[in-house]
Structure 1
Amino acid sequence: MAKASLPEFIPLNIAVLTVSDTRSEETDTSGAALVERLTRAGHTLAKKAIVKDDVYQLRAIVSKWIASDDVQVVISTGGTGFTARDNTPEALMPLFDKQIEGFGETFRHISLGEIGTSTVQSRALAGMANGTAVFCVPGSTNACKTAWDKLLAEQLDASHKPCNFAPHLKNIDVNCHTRG
């Protein structure tokens, strides 16, 4: 019996949202790191924005991207800590059709080796909304690099086995591989 071939890499349309009250395009090193990594991997930057850490502004932008046929993935950076201004989880969780619990757990597990027990203060999370994967990572440039390099790069690659997020995204026609 012949083995099924791996699907080829499928470029995804990814939007990057930086959540910050202080960053500008010139000082947004976290957003820039994500853009550099996703384009180097062969994906397309669909949208990029910087928004103040305000629940309703966050929801408005991400809701628009989720509703768009042109955005398959949203990666937000910032607003996942514990200060009074950190509102990303509260803003975006209501938009999720399903949470991706394993994302936050895995991100914190990976981060433990890099920043020690301070990782417990990360409220990194993810979910699916209207066929769009939404990933929320901390605002530090190193956290963004960790999230992409050690988690998102594989999970946003349709050829990654045994499974990845590509089959769950809108406008994608690929099946998930089994572990067998």
Structure 2
Amino acid sequence: MSKIGDDNPFIPVRIAVLTVSDTRSLEEDRSGQVLVDRLTKAGHILADRKILRDERDQIANQLRAWVADDGVDVVISTGGTGLTGRDVTVEAHRDVYEKEIDAFSTLFTLISYEKIGTSAVQSRATAGVAGGTYLFALPGSPGACKDAWDGILEKQLDYRHPPCNFVEIMPRLDEHLRRK
């Protein structure tokens, strides 16, 4: 199902974009720009944007800072999800997650397989939740960012998307933290 329901209003979410790269600058960051372009075109708010080197502690600390920031609902990172020694984004994300969204990786792999065949097996795209904030780690290619946004995130971050979406459960993500 990919149609938008008419019964619900659009609710913009505040999204931070993190590019993980040892070599890119903001001007050269095509993958991060793909995400910024798509999220703003969809009506969401760019809450923040940063580029960090492939350093696990720095990435995890930035994710934690955004999780603690009431002005950020969603974090999307791009880069550092591969298999080489410097690819530590997935580990940094998992250092922060309270819960992992396992099906995100599966669905992303299925979408990627349709585009790049068995090379999709090399991606470690992942997603999770921490402190009421969604965290998504995407590969560092513009094509992978397009695939993840167009095939999953655009719909799941739209409150109008039936039968369910990430936005409608957002108010309950941190309910365990509010219990006395």
- Please give the TM-score of this superposition, normalised by the length of structure 1: 0.91
Q: Supply the AA of the counterpart residue of 1:43.
A: H
Are residues 1:126 and 2:133 paired? no
For each residue in 1:83-118, what CA deviation from the matched residue of structure 2 results, as whole angstroms up to 9, or x when unmatched?
A: 000001111102111100010100000100100000
Are residues 1:157 and 2:147 paired? no
Q: Which residue of 1 aligns with 2:41?
A: 40
1:170 deviates by 4.7
Counterpart Cα distance in 2 of 1:79 and 1:167: 30
Q: Which residue of 1 aligns with 2:73?
A: 72
Q: Which residue of 1 aligns with 2:108?
A: 107
Counterpart Cα distance in 2 of 1:113 and 1:86: 24
1:6 deviates by 2.4
Aligned positions, number: 169
1:143 deviates by 0.3
For the Cα contact (< 8 Å) 2:6–2:160, is it kept in 1?
no
Q: Which residue of 2 aligns with 1:176?
A: none
Moved over 6 A (4+): none
1:5 deviates by 6.4
1:64 deviates by 0.2
Counterpart Cα distance in 1 of 2:27 and 2:95: 31
Counterpart Cα distance in 1 of 2:24 and 2:102: 29
Counterpart Cα distance in 2 of 1:168 and 1:99: 15
Amino-acid identity (%): 53
The structure, 1 or 2, with the larger RCO (C-alpha pairs under 8 Å, 6+ apart) is 2
Assess, with a 3 A threshold, how the Cα gap between structure 1 residues 171 and 49 changes in structure 2: closer, same or farther.
farther
Q: Which residue of 2 aligns with 1:145?
A: 146
Q: Supply the AA of the counterpart residue of 1:9.
A: F
Report the secondary structure of 2:48's partner residue.
strand
1:167 deviates by 2.4
Counterpart Cα distance in 2 of 1:52 and 1:165: 29
Q: Structure 2, unaligned stretches of length 5 or more?
A: 174-180
1:171 deviates by 9.1
Q: Which residue of 1 aligns with 2:29?
A: 28
Counterpart Cα distance in 2 of 1:44 and 1:171: 21
Q: Which residue of 2 aligns with 1:12?
A: 13
Counterpart Cα distance in 2 of 1:77 and 1:135: 8
1:60 deviates by 1.0
Q: Structure 1, unaligned stretches of length 5 or more?
A: 173-180
Q: How does 1:80-91 map to 2 (within 5 A)?
A: 80-91=81-92
1:134 deviates by 0.4
